[in-house]
A and B are shown apart, each in its own frame.
Chain A
Amino acid sequence: MQKKFKLSSTIQCDVLIIGAGGAGLRCAAHILEKRPGTHIIAVTKVSHPQKSHTSTAQGGLAAVDPKDAVDRPIYHMFDTWKGSDCMADQDVVQKIVDAAWEEIVWLENRGMHFTRDEEGRLSKRTFGGHTVRFGEASAFRAVFEADRTGKGIMDNVWGEALKGGVAFLDQTLLTELLIRNDRCVGAVLFMEKTGEFVAVSAKATVLATGGCGQVFRVTTNCRQNTGDAHAVALQAGLPLIDMEAVQFHPTGIVGPGILASETLRSVGGILRNKELDPFMARYAPKMKELAPRDLVARAIETEIREGRGILNPDHNIEHIWIDLRHLSDYVHEVQIPEVSGFFKQFMNLDPRTQLCPVRPSNHYQMGGIPTNAFGEVQRSPDTVIFGLYAAGECGCSSFHGFNRLGTNSILELITMGRFVGERVVLSMDEAAEGLPADAGDKTFSRFAGYLENKKEENIDQIREDMRRMMTENVGVFRAEEGLNTAIHALTVSAERVRGAALRCRSLQMNQELVQRWEIDNLLSVSMVIAQGALRRRESRGGHARVDFPQRRDEFNAHTLACMTEFGKIQFASRPVDMSIFEAKGDNYEKFGLIERKY
């Protein structure tokens, strides 16, 4: 092994938070409020915590206001359960929904600039799938900060973490988890700016690295969402849960992948194919454009597959049109100014006079690193890894089951972030354990391999091919044949990239090196998604099998997948918690295996 690969230092701290987005920093803020002076290190892959992806969430955050005369937590629980296609864990659903409003007050009291009504109270808006009285009418449940709710949260939790004295490590990557006898003692990090490797010893390690949407060619997710922590967890022998449960948003704007929100359709936008045919009438004669997200996504995807899409030459992406030309100036200016503005900003189009290109885009990963309702990472349904926690999009306690409702994700970040904080505080009196002698060895052999390889390959091309292939075969539609093709293609890509040489051989601020490492992570995550999708011979939530279009009760359990050797997966399952149903309280029957029909 080359001489330059060594740990440049070992750092001690109380809590190591990997991922400084909404979930990670909410957790940090809670710990510091309850136990001031706790030594917390928060790590982020981006150039500063405020750049984390939480900043891009637009719409809002669901929470039932106890002052509300009609809305009740039980309705929110029901909507979440129904939306999840009966795969959310009910203990988690209850816990998060019950804690939601407290978190809103926490955010507001610490300075978030929520949009307000004339009386100075927090304004609320409706969102798809959120109802009162078990589906009877739309609920006004989402509080928001204009069209930048995520940014409001990010600014706020970052500010509080800074105030409490968190030490930040920016542009730093988690490369290895240090776990011994089911106890996590810390992690190995790679600091991009200096090219150094460090080991961190911590009493508690929290994973909060966000999503993994870069698996797909067309995604709303940021450049850094490459499933790093998912892959590192797999390497440590931990399982991932429900990775086949991926959400696709029906209308991402071609190119930047920004969301063209539901609003465009609710104010009267019409979807048209190459022949300008308003095709939704053929798929949902009554609801048309207003049908649920997954149905619209499948309709668009079918049009594209059957040759009625349009190819955008610049981005080389197929799409259909959304037609907003017939809408009044009032609608353009007052009801949809932001989204309408995106088309101008990113496509140079005027939606008043021109058709706008959209297509289904990867949006959210419902699965992730399995945890219980306290955010403790599980090795199996009944064993946890002591000292290791996960929260936010990378974790899965399962609040969303197989389909996430809009505005439920940022609610999950802050509540689960806090719950993890509560657990961590309880564990702080225990002594820290030493680091294993071989800490870093796995990282070193991996990185040394990248730098020593000699084969001429275009790594960016391999990555692009892989992402396109995943979009085609493991995207909105899935079928046995395509999934087998995907699994084979991933094996071939892994082979192709294995010996690929890098042009820049430095360790310091080497973007090429980091992207090389990311491909390995993307490949691992893709493999788990594809095999999980193949195994689940049913359709449920975001997972749609053309060859098995119905939901089937025999698949009523979470998928656990371990993969220590690429391509060889051991599957297990975790039962779905149905404690609300089993408690037989008021309205318990709404929490049985109900149909997901809207």
Chain B
Amino acid sequence: MKESYSLVFNIKRHDPEAHKSWMQTYRIEAGRILRFTDVLRKINKELDPTLAWNSSCEHAQCGSCSVVINGKPMLACELLVENAVVYFGTTTFTIEPISVAPVLRDLVVDLEKAYDRVHRIRPFIIQPSKNPNQGQEYRISPRRMEGYLDATRCINCFCCATACISSHKGFLGPNAVMASVVRIMDPREDATEDRLKQLYSEEGVYRCHTSKACSHVCPKHIDVAHFVGLAKERDFT
């Protein structure tokens, strides 16, 4: 087991004021269990304080740090140097911003724009169904929840949308579709028809080619394509 690695990071940079983009190479020594966010911080401290990148929780729980590493969208805060070297079989990494939103600077994108798609599906209960226990909680059996619970783990990191070939052409995208499917399956939501109308519209599920790239890249290991598939087949039981 190696204690530390000599890494080459080729990072796609962008200067919004000069309207300039370029690739910049950083050579850096990093311990085996540092995460990519730690390495980016190390680059800031030792080589270049101007390099901009995004993160928040650094616990793989907020979905702020998604970047494209050697072609694969991933969370930088959970990728260990050692695992990256093994997974990609190299110590050279190309790091680019995710492609579903405009770049603000370097690796930082305007996530608000990416979220437009999620906002469009209305990520809340649009029309509450009648609650037989007024003033108390709804009763929902765990078995009923099982069908959609996995989808509620989504952190909107947009890795799936970045990988999805259909996402760039007016498709709501896998995570947004999945969020709507959750509410269709949730007995507390009555606005199912509204939701279906949107899912079968121009921006809806028919744009999906069932490539399953979304499920493949999801850092939360959610089978996103399965939920998109439920919508395609109109099977929400």
Contacts and interface: CB of A to CB of B under 8 A. Distances in A.
Contact of B3 (A155, A222, A313): A313
Interface in A82-134: 104-105, 108-111, 113-114, 116-122
Contact of A162 (B105, B111, B123, B128): B123
B112 A56 contact: no
Interface stretch (B29-37, B209-217, B222-230): B29-37
Contacts, number: 184
Grouping DSSP codes into helix (H, G, I), strand (E, B) and loop, the B interface class, with mixed when no group exceeds half, is: loop
A193 B17 CA distance: 12
B135 A105 contact: yes
Contacts of B15: 506
B77 to A, nearest CB: 7
A346 B82 CA distance: 11
Contact of B115 (A48, A122, A509): A48
Given A120-B141, A162-B124, A163-B124, A53 B56 contact: yes
Interface in A141-171: 148, 151-152, 155-156, 158-160, 162-163, 168, 170
B58 A504 contact: no
Contacts of B144: 120
Contacts of B56: 46-47, 51-53, 222-224
B124 A116 contact: no
Nearest to B114: A48
B58 A315 contact: no
B104 interface: yes
| Interface residue tally on A, bucketed by range | 35 or more
Contact of B105 (A155, A256, A348, A508): A508
A47 B50 contact: no
Contact of B123 (A113, A155, A458, A510): A155
Nearest to A458: B45
Contact of A223 (B58, B78, B112, B153): B58
Contacts of A348: 32-33, 80, 82-83
Interface stretch (A459-467, A573-581, A585-593): A459-467
B60 to A, nearest CB: 7
Nearest to A461: B45
Given A56-B61, A223-B56, A121 B124 contact: no
Interface of B: 3-4, 15-17, 30-35, 38, 41, 44-45, 48-64, 77-78, 80, 82-83, 104-105, 108, 110-112, 115, 119, 122-126, 128, 131, 135-142, 144-145, 149, 152-153, 155-156, 183, 186, 188-189
23 contacts: A47-B111, A51-B56, A52-B56, A53-B62, A56-B57, A104-B137, A105-B137, A109-B128, A109-B137, A111-B186, A148-B61, A162-B124, A163-B124, A256-B35, A258-B59, A313-B3, A314-B34, A315-B34, A345-B60, A348-B83, A461-B45, A511-B53, A512-B49
Given A104-B137, A313-B31, 12 more contacts: A47-B108, A47-B110, A105-B135, A113-B145, A114-B137, A116-B145, A119-B139, A170-B111, A348-B80, A511-B50, A511-B52, A512-B50
